[in-house]
Amino acid sequence: MRYLDVTQPITDGMPVYPGDPPVSVRPYLCIADGAPVNLGLVTLGTHTGTHLDAPRHFFDGAGGVDRIPLEALIGPARVVEVSGAGDVDAAAVRDALDGEERRLLFKTRNSARPPAERLLPGYAALTPEAARLLVEADPRPVLVGLDGPSVDGHDAQDAPAHRLLLRSGVAILEGLELSAVPPGAYELFCLPLALLGGDGAPARVLLRQMDEAA
């Protein structure tokens, strides 16, 4: 049984979205220094690397990452490849909605860039029209993922894609590592850290091809 790990590794000093806390991964106790065990200390933001956004990220008093149903995070998913140099637009979403999967992962030109360059202004994101189509779909997706740092573009005003999706109960999965993943049907396993009331959390995300799921 073959799993594809689509999680960005968390490393000391790794690039983060502008304004997010820096990542520190360092020893805290070391056997070499006389301690009985090796023990590390990790400092990072809740939206580091591959991570899940919760409604609380944009709405005070809304549910945290621990309130997102596991049923939204585990199940059939489709990786949709978006060709060209633009954003994920309404046409790409219409194509994605042709399938039965309610967990949609968009593979864009971001995947062809080194991880640090995916954070630079100009990364591919969702257009507001695309986000609107997603929340108006019947049935509506329960999760939308992207291989960039944000579903909203760097210059997006008031984060329309985030607000539309989160207000409608659609979980947002960002920072996916899809460079080696062909488009198609998969089974998704997305397990975020259980941060009580968290506005988001890093997640370990795996895909399994549906023809191997039986």
- Which among 47, 51, 57, 162 is annotated as catalytic? 57
* CB of 176 closer than 8 Å to CB of 18: no
* CB of 35 closer than 8 Å to CB of 29: yes
Tokens encoding 154:
């760097």
Q: Where are the alpha helices (DSSP H) in the chain?
A: 70-73, 90-96, 128-136, 160-167
Q: For 179, which DSSP code?
A: T
- Catalytic annotation present for 154: no
The residues that bridge with 106 in the sheet, in sequence order, are: 80, 146
Give the integer Cα–Cα distance in Å for 157 and 153.
9
Give the integer Cα–Cα distance in Å for 134 and 130.
6
Query: Helix (H, G, I), strand (E, B), or coil: what is residue 202?
Result: strand
Which residues are marked as active site? 57
